[in-house]
Amino acid sequence: MKPQLIINGSAGRMGRRLVALAVESGNFNLIAAIEASNHPDINKDAGSIAGISPAGIKISPDWPSTAADVVIDFSLPAGADIAIDYCSKYNCALVIGTTGLAHHQLQKIRELAGKAPVIQATNMSVGMNFLFEFIGKVATALGNDYDIEIVEEHHKFKKDAPSGTALTLAERIAKSAGWKYPDCLVCGRSGKDALRQPNTIGMHAIRAGDIVGEHSVIFSCQGETVTLSHSAHSRDTFVRGALRAAQWLVGKRPGLYSMKDVLGL
């Protein structure tokens, strides 16, 4: 039997692709496509908005009054709160990729994981999660002689900066280096006395046009530079990862899982 799926943020850039690929995969039964009540696409067919055949599900601010098997949330922090509350009420599995969450929301996610399976990830692409896993090892191997800078690029409509992905990269590096996070971050530089300080990670956010997602980690010393980078060619790379995570999560025991678990890393 196909898992019953709810997509929160269904009319957004990620949400539309989630609807399209979830329906086209045939692996899910989409039962609700949720969006903020003031969104202009409310009451329109979710499939039509996603650029596929009508799905028979209207975009709505109203959550079902029964339990789904899994919710995928790519919304905004305010919308994520509602998704977490719904999953808590029905012990429903949750895959959440919304970034910019407050500390109290992260605590709610941890509490939900006590009674339902949850995957929270700042980036759900397979390639980026491989980078997450070995970036700390690279930092350790190169050592403190190498200055570290992270440059991330996204479309001009992205609200939070730095990106959640960039922060995860920095956190992994800081943990491996033994630096206090987030105190070691230096976000941008300006002024007449902005010399680089030791044991810090420079962080730079670019917002322009329709850039999907570019992340580069630069390790540089006197004499050479090593750059590790990841480029998302389209949002579908994140969507496929999220759908893979949702399928994997259904039926799992309560707990806070990661893409590392999904991918078997």
User: pLDDT tens for residues 22-65?
Assistant: 999 999 999 999 999 999 999 999 999 999 999 999 999 999 99
CB 132 within 8 A of CB 169: yes
- pLDDT at residue 99 is higher than 90: no
Task: Name all domains of the chain by residue range, CATH numbers in brackets.
Answer: 4-124+235-263 (3.40.50.720), 126-231 (3.30.360.10)
> What are the angstrom distances between the C-alpha of 76 and each of 62, 63, 79, 244, 253?
16, 16, 5, 22, 27
Given the residues 154, 204, 215, 230, the one annotated as active site? 154
Given the residues 44, 58, 155, 158, the one annotated as active site? 158
Query: Is 154 known to be catalytic?
Result: yes
Give the pLDDT of residue 1: 83
Query: Is 137 known to be catalytic?
Result: no
| Mean predicted confidence (pLDDT) in 92-116 | 94
Q: Which two tokens stand for residue 233?
A: 């060619």
CB 94 within 8 A of CB 69: no
Q: pLDDT grade, residue 126 (50/70/90)?
A: confident
CB 248 within 8 A of CB 262: yes
